[in-house]
Structure 1
Amino acid sequence: MTQASNDSSLKELWYTRCSVPTPLGVASQLGWISDEFKADGITIKTLQDSTDPALLESHYDHHIANSFRYGGNVPAIWARSRGRQTRVIGLNWVDEYQAILVKPGSDIREPKDLKGKRLALPRHEEDSIDHRRASTLRAFEAALQVGRLAESDVTFVEFVGRPREGQRLVRAQPGRHEFGPVLEALSEGTVDVIFIKGSRGAQIAAEHNLQLVYDFGKHPDPLVRASNAAPRTLTVDQGLLDHHPAIAERLLARVHDVGDWARAHPAETVSLIGKETGTADQWVRAAYGDLYQHQQTTLDEISVKGLQAFTDFLHRREFIPNAVNVREWIDARPLEQVLQRRASRNAA
């Protein structure tokens, strides 16, 4: 990439991230993003601080110019599928707790026992793209394959899941979670099987003494366990890359630095992720394991293949309108520049 000649024309830079482990979330909490651009006079804005519904929709459709998004990949894939001109400049893979659960004492103990059972499949009609439903269906599909069952062997029970709170990207907070409707359905006997995930899911499963049938996050094939959670995508709008490539490289460099910082600060990393997810350190560790070892932003081959595999799933299941070629979506140049500069510094 070449240095843009008019970076001084950029007055504000937007970013958004999900309330999940991301290197951007860590960099943001450390103050690295605002510090990086302070001398340039660029105002840094985050959607998490906005209440404007029109702006907040960019978390899903990425319509705001000069913006970055790091988080679950379904909205990013959906936006690209609909023609939004974005590029993937980095990926991060952290395997997480993704659990298919039943009531304690149930006779459903492994995937083959799902035959004839009722599986909770909530829908979230207020979401532009129902990433939570996609995650649930992906996990159930894998579990049925492990149990050598067909979808005709089970019954998917559809119901309305918990909506987002108002028109705000609410920061994760202790005690707040999205799993209330499926827990209620399980408790009332409307369904036999539910899916929950992440550090909040791990905490809920423990508090309710729920019985694990299958942890999708531990499937041995990364191309199968690729999901909304892995790999998470760092995307940027094409216009920023075209007109301000150096800005994109600088933000990516700070996010990339989190990989080494996290390995050197494991306890601090867990604590920061706890703040991102709204859960105590013990549940962060339970859900994500040694995530401080996995805060790198890369474009490694298995992550690229995993993203393509999950993108194909979304298209096959009609969550997205058009197929997406992941390799064409990726722009590796910013990361190549970051790595080259880092190698030069280390060699000096």
Structure 2
Amino acid sequence: MSDPRPLLQLQKVKMQFGGVVALREVELTINEGEIFALIGPNGAGKTTVFNVVTGVYRPTSGQVVFDGDRIDGMKRFKVTKRGVARTFQNIRLFHNMSALENVMVGADAHHRAGMFSAALGLPWHRHEERDGKALARELLEFVGIGHRAEETAKNLPYGDQRRLEIARALATKPKLLLLDEPAAGSLTWVEERQAVITRPYVTIQDPEDLRGRRLGLPLSKGVPVDVRRATALRGFQGALWAGGLTLNDVHLVDVPVTPVPGWRTSVPAVLGGPRRASTPAGLPGAGSRQWEPELEALARGDIDAVYVKGATAVEAAARYGLHVAIDLDGHPDQRVRINDGTVRPITVDQLLLDVRPDVVARFLRVLLDAAEWASAYPDQALTLSGDAARPPGAHRLTDLTIDLPDLTIDLSAERLGLLAEQERFLWTHGFLESAVDVGSWADHTPLASAHARRRTYQEQTA
């Protein structure tokens, strides 16, 4: 059997925005005919990789090679003509056009007739329009929304808008299709360090002490969804609830922050794939710098407390001379600790689930096996858990005093209920454009199939 032919190669790609390095020396190869998953923590730079490949960003250094030719720095429409198509974290459709017209726009990528031919209605243009419409109808049927061809895109349900975006991408006849955070499958629960931080001389020790205090909320302008603000507001809500208080019992103070390119600014999901999963070297997390505006405002005395998430944020607070006033990690009620990324959906594209459910089940079997291995070898698993789980001062395995997070994967009523609570919070406070029915979003079939086809550890090693 001949070696697989590389289709896309990133060679020592670096993407820097001012003083922030979003990608550092990234190396990856995707072979022809391969399904490849890019997996990483929130803010790791996954979307930045997509933007570099598709020509949204010109890399600071390094090369992007597609189908044997360099495409780094190439204009976006030329990248599309070469055979690269993508979808986006935040759906980008022509909302006032019909579903059919949206897909026809994708088909236009390879049309030869220009504006002059279209204006005069020349035969060549009419021929391409007829073929483009036929292709668009075929692709809408393929993704399962052929019956919605004449409906306006903005009136489609969220799931069908996702399918429409995939159909439009397929209409460009790509050799490589990039799906940026498409839709849903199973749930995991991941604990991260969560705390309310204050100055040493401020007398906040318990949730009840937050009454009447000035709590800092980050405010990012020009982003589709202000996830940082949602995370902080949800964290404060949990802390206040633990003390029998509500958000009405405190003063919320806006702290302006500047979004850094490459940091996540939309509601999160996790993309999974069956064949290979990779977090390439050089994808750093946002780290402690994400929290600097809030910590600086707190240190100046503009506010009385801030909420932070992740061990690196707690370490950053210590560098400002600040300390943990309320540690939310140890609270026994999960409703206090639930936040962005705590209940983590394992998501797959709906089209993949419809067309290749066996691939999705195989992917979930790998995750189930990984969770079982982590449970059997917790020390080794903790070394892979990264900064989010590492407590302040822990630099070696022997410094770790935390337990391994619960990595089990299920769609139990309890976990779906917690995710529904998070959805209600986001919807109530305006972070979601529309409500999401969590129960109907979850599909139990792939996980049940994965469990049914699992092999024991002995069978795997035989």
TM-score, scaled relative to structure 2: 0.55
Give the C-alpha shift of residue 96 in structure 1.
2.2
Map of 2:88 onto structure 1? 58
Aligned to 1:299: 411
Identity among equivalent pairs (%)? 30
Aligned partner of 1:323 in structure 2 is: 435
Counterpart CA distance in 2 for 1:80 and 1:224 is 29
Asked if residue 144 in structure 1 is aligned to residue 243 in structure 2, the reply is no
**Which residues of 2 match residues 41-80 of structure 1 at below 5 A?**
41-46=33-38, 47=46, 49-50=49-50, 51=52, 52=54, 53=56, 58-59=88-89
Question: For the residues of structure 1 that align with 2:353 and 2:333, how far apart are their CA atoms?
Answer: 34
Contact 2:197–2:324, Cα closer than 8 Å, also in 1: yes
Picking from 194, 202, 206, the partner of 2:314 is: 202
How many residues get paired?
299
Matches within 5 A, 1:37-186: 41-46=33-38, 47=46, 49-50=49-50, 51=52, 52=54, 53=56, 58-59=88-89, 84=162, 87-165=183-261, 171-172=283-284, 177-186=289-298
- 1:324 aligned counterpart, secondary structure: coil
Q: 1:346 to 1:271 in 2, by over 3 A?
A: closer
- 1:88-110, CA deviations, whole angstroms, 9 ceiling, x for partnerless residues? 21111022221111011222222
The 2-side partners of 1:99 and 1:275 are apart by 15
Structure 2 distance, partners of 1:87, 1:324, is 12
1:141: Cα distance to partner?
1.5
Conserved 8 A contact 1:62-1:84? no
Distance 1:287 1:231 in 2: 23
Q: Contact 1:102 / 1:192 at 8 angstroms: preserved in 2?
A: yes
Answer yes or no: is 1:226 the counterpart of 2:349.
Answer: no
- How far residue 162 of structure 1 moved from its aligned partner, in angstroms, is 4.0
Mark the CA change 1:174 to 1:118 in structure 2 (over 3 Å): closer, same or farther: closer
Mapped partners of 1:204, 1:315: distance in 2: 31
| 8 Å CA contact 1:226, 1:310 repeated in 2 | yes
Instruction: Letter of the 2:234 partner, please give it.
Output: R
**Against the structure 1 CA distance between its residues 175 and 247, is the aligned structure 2 distance closer, same or farther, given a 3 Å change threshold?**
closer
Report the RMSD for the aligned CA atoms in angstroms: 4.0
CA distance in 1, matches of 2:341, 2:396: 15
Contact 2:368 2:408 in 1 (8 A): yes
Which residue of structure 1 lines up, in the alignment, with residue 402 of structure 2? 289
Rg larger for: 2
Structure with more of its chain in helix, by fraction: 1
CA contact (8 A) 1:100 1:212 kept: yes
SS of 2:386's equivalent in the other structure is helix
Please give the secondary structure, in 2, of the residue aligned with 1:156.
strand
Kindly indicate whether the alpha-carbon contact (under 8 Å) linking 1:119 and 1:157 is maintained by their aligned counterparts in 2. Answer: yes
Distance 1:137 1:239 in 2: 34
Deviates more, 1:169-178 or 1:137-146: 169-178
Q: Counterparts of 1:288 and 1:81 in 2: how far apart (Å)?
A: 42
Partner of residue 3, structure 1: none
Distance 2:232 2:323 in 1: 17
Shift in Å, 1:233: 1.0
* 2-structure distance, mates of 1:142, 1:167: 24
- C-alpha displacement of 1:306: 0.5
Q: 1:190 to 1:306 in 2, by over 3 A?
A: same
Q: What CA distance in whole angstroms lies between the structure 2 residues aligned with 1:98 and 1:284? A: 21
Letter in 1 for 2:403: D
- Tell me: higher relative CO, structure 1 or 2? Use CA pairs within 8 A at least 6 residues apart: 1
TM-score by length of 1: 0.72
3-state SS of paired residue (1:342) = coil
